[in-house]
Structure 1
């Protein structure tokens, strides 16, 4: 069963990262405009958020076993349909179904694992789950998807997810009866669900496309941000109400460990998804690597990620070490890795970046398993599925904000750096004259009359490249500094939670 749920999470990871690798090929094959293609990402992510929120209701209505098997089979089916769909409109609809099924699958699968195994086995069990849900999209899927794109076509990415989903479904069904809490009937809060969908679609679009449209300078971004924020506020107010059949039970936040781990997971999601986006992007756009080569760059990090997960699992199981003990080490190691990557330049290669990327894997491994256990291991069975859903919402929201923030930072820094560097290139400066002369000496065989013009053009390209390099260096450093800025907030938050816990007890 553990392997089956892990493979199901892997299938979801392949489906969720398909567009990031196969973007250009898919645009060409589907003849999609940039606006049309943007909705493929928005549809998937917003549906995934919706799936997270609806999982508790589905589990209570249908049982965890039925929900898990159904969503695993449906995800595999939708991946197969996506591989055969050449029309962008139909593909958008399929991405909605993929995202919803994947979101439900992740929450339901993790909930079933917590319910099916004794607490002392949870560190190892959750390590296996993290391999598919966290490690795969951050380290392994970029390589396999890149290789598939370079060797075949984007359709095979979805066919790979189909194969993983079919095998996962067979293993889950073969596991037989799953141990879980009793299912309970209850109504669905349709007004709250409708507001949640509106909020998820609007805010996902804003985060996905905000950088492209320069954020608040575009009216559509302003409108969608306002609508999404208002809808989200109404959802939260509804969840604090006293009516029955709430979509999400916020009482899990009365448990101080969950409340603390939720906030940390938001920051960790920012760091995980942000670094998973920026490292391949730097490798491809600056270092000129192919998608496959960029994937190979991340692969060793994945193995150390897994090794760190199981190291933490063994420490927690056999030494009685509290999960919180490994979190500071994970943060410090990850910060060191990002600082080292901020020293990269346009001449860096895989050997220059390897140590930093390996440390990144170790840091994330020390961080994520501990956060999962801190947040979820102490929750009562009645609210466990709500806790798992909210924990995944926090991690995914942090990741979306992380990628959007880094995209904006790189865009703005590139323009600013180019302006500053270009201002130093003026006629008559000795350094500029020498540089053009050096480039001209390398252009032997070019007609003399055009040599200087070609040299000036090449110098301009070098300046543009250097502006991009500096922007990525800033982005790597920003991820490292994120934890410096967040640490005082998290510590203060933990102290406040501790004080609050002295005066109240979990419901």
Structure 2
């Protein structure tokens, strides 16, 4: 991608063209990032309307994430073959079409197929938006361009749950996808008007077909195993065993092939570098925890606490307040300080947030729900850019695109895996707690016997009293299960700090900082 640009340099845009070009790229990014979170609070509505369970409904999120993860590493090869402007345009147009298909979906399989297409065509959009934006501004103003771009990526995840919740409650869930259509059309027309004569040179480049097939095989097998594992009772099922073995074998062949191929689809040799490995793993695992909890929290609020989709979205909204205010500050101080300090502070804040959530009860109030989310915004402001700065530290310029693509691939993949793991773990912990709570529900337990007697005193017969007790036990078990996951998340964030300090980032100049920032999302 960088090579193509070097062969056909274009002067920076000026005046109205620069404004329109920035808006066009930002709209495309906003639409893309919005779709990673807008469906989160709408899963119960989608599941109910399509007649599937909530855990099946979460495939709507994970299918997008996995398809997106697979397509991100192919951005460079596709750019060489198609051209960056044409590829960016194609991504926008196909994203709009797939969004329309999602809204029209009559059943879950059709919706999942549409989301897979949507995720696949969305893959090149984020890297190319950075490329087009940086090429549009003078080098001296690159930090300003990237800060504007970063603001868009911070606003979209905050707007997603609120917009998704409001649409689900007041209109209908298909409109969470239809909203992309007018935004995408405007972005496509503006992009074509401004950038159509600024395309990169097209050149033929070989593709690692074997590596691509192996990549799709192990990623797809792993994700289906994670999604279906709970329904099929995990490794007691032949299907799950086959999927697990397929994923492991394909991954093993993938690693060997990619390390020996002349034109690998993914440059795994980057993992030999301490900074890249430490930064990438810390960022990916941290993102997987964050995204898994981002799905779990509204789902728990709606299924067990009685929140509407809109209210669940509003609970998540405060995360954007400090994130948007403090992100420019992070960008300013990063070149003058060790990024490990900022990352450590961010991870400690995330740990504090999840510990606070682990103290929730079934009678949790709105203030207790929103305070940790507000604090989490401080951690978000120092999460992406410092870790990417560490990941890319010391790399020569020609390796940065490959490193950015691989780091993004691992991060996005962990986001999809995190969703599946949290869903399954919550179900298992809830079942365990339910069994432990009901062990004491017998006639020889005076507390239980007194509770049933009191229920009878208000007019409930024995069957109704037992039913009410079971309902209360189920709610409490779900609460304890979600608390377990919040507590474990806090502990993992603390443990990840060790990975940050294994790295030895070099002091970056302004150009390196800009390159790092451009890959942050």
Show the counterpart of 1:241: 260
Q: 1:402 to 1:373 in 2, by over 3 A?
A: same
Q: 2:44, 2:299 within 8 Å by CA — same for their partners in 1?
A: no
Q: 1:209 to 1:134 in 2, by over 3 A?
A: farther
Of 318, 341, 356, which aligns to 1:300?
318
Show the counterpart of 2:87: 67
Q: After alignment, is 102-111 or 20-29 more displaced? A: 20-29
Show the counterpart of 1:465: 475
Question: Does residue 33 of structure 2 align to residue 13 of structure 1?
Answer: yes
Of 397, 400, 413, which aligns to 2:416?
400
Show the counterpart of 1:53: 73
Matched position secondary structure for 2:260: coil
- Separation in 1, partners of 2:44, 2:392: 39
The Cα offsets for residues 429-469 of structure 1, whole Å up to 9 and x where unpaired, read as: 3322333344444x2xx3xxx54543333222222211111
Question: Does residue 503 of structure 2 align to residue 494 of structure 1?
Answer: yes
Of 281, 295, 299, which aligns to 1:263?
281
Q: 1:232 to 1:289 in 2, by over 3 A?
A: same
Q: What is the number of residues matched between the two proteins?
A: 486
Q: 1:290 to 1:483 in 2, by over 3 A?
A: same
RMSD (CA atoms): 3.1
Q: 1:90 to 1:435 in 2, by over 3 A?
A: closer
TM-score by length of 1: 0.86
1:2-151 alignment to 2 at 5 Å?
2-17=22-37, 19-26=39-46, 43-86=63-106, 90-113=110-133, 125-133=145-153, 136-137=156-157, 139-151=158-170
How many Å apart are 1:254 and its aligned residue?
A: 5.5
TM-score by length of 2: 0.83
Query: Unaligned stretches of 5+ in structure 2?
Result: 1-20, 507-521
Q: 2:25, 2:129 within 8 Å by CA — same for their partners in 1?
A: yes
Question: Does residue 407 of structure 2 align to residue 391 of structure 1?
Answer: yes
How many Å apart are 1:358 and its aligned residue?
A: 0.9
- Separation in 2, partners of 1:460, 1:412: 17
Query: Unaligned stretches of 5+ in structure 1?
Result: 499-507
Q: 1:378 to 1:98 in 2, by over 3 A?
A: farther
- Separation in 2, partners of 1:440, 1:122: 71
- Separation in 2, partners of 1:427, 1:304: 53
- Separation in 2, partners of 1:406, 1:42: 12
Q: 1:178 to 1:338 in 2, by over 3 A?
A: farther
Question: Does residue 218 of structure 2 align to residue 199 of structure 1?
Answer: yes
Q: 2:39, 2:164 within 8 Å by CA — same for their partners in 1?
A: no
Of 170, 176, 186, which aligns to 1:167?
186
Show the counterpart of 1:504: none
Q: 2:62, 2:420 within 8 Å by CA — same for their partners in 1?
A: no
Show the counterpart of 2:366: 350
- Separation in 1, partners of 2:191, 2:117: 21
- Separation in 2, partners of 1:60, 1:355: 47
Question: Does residue 348 of structure 2 align to residue 332 of structure 1?
Answer: yes
How many Å apart are 1:405 and its aligned residue?
A: 2.4
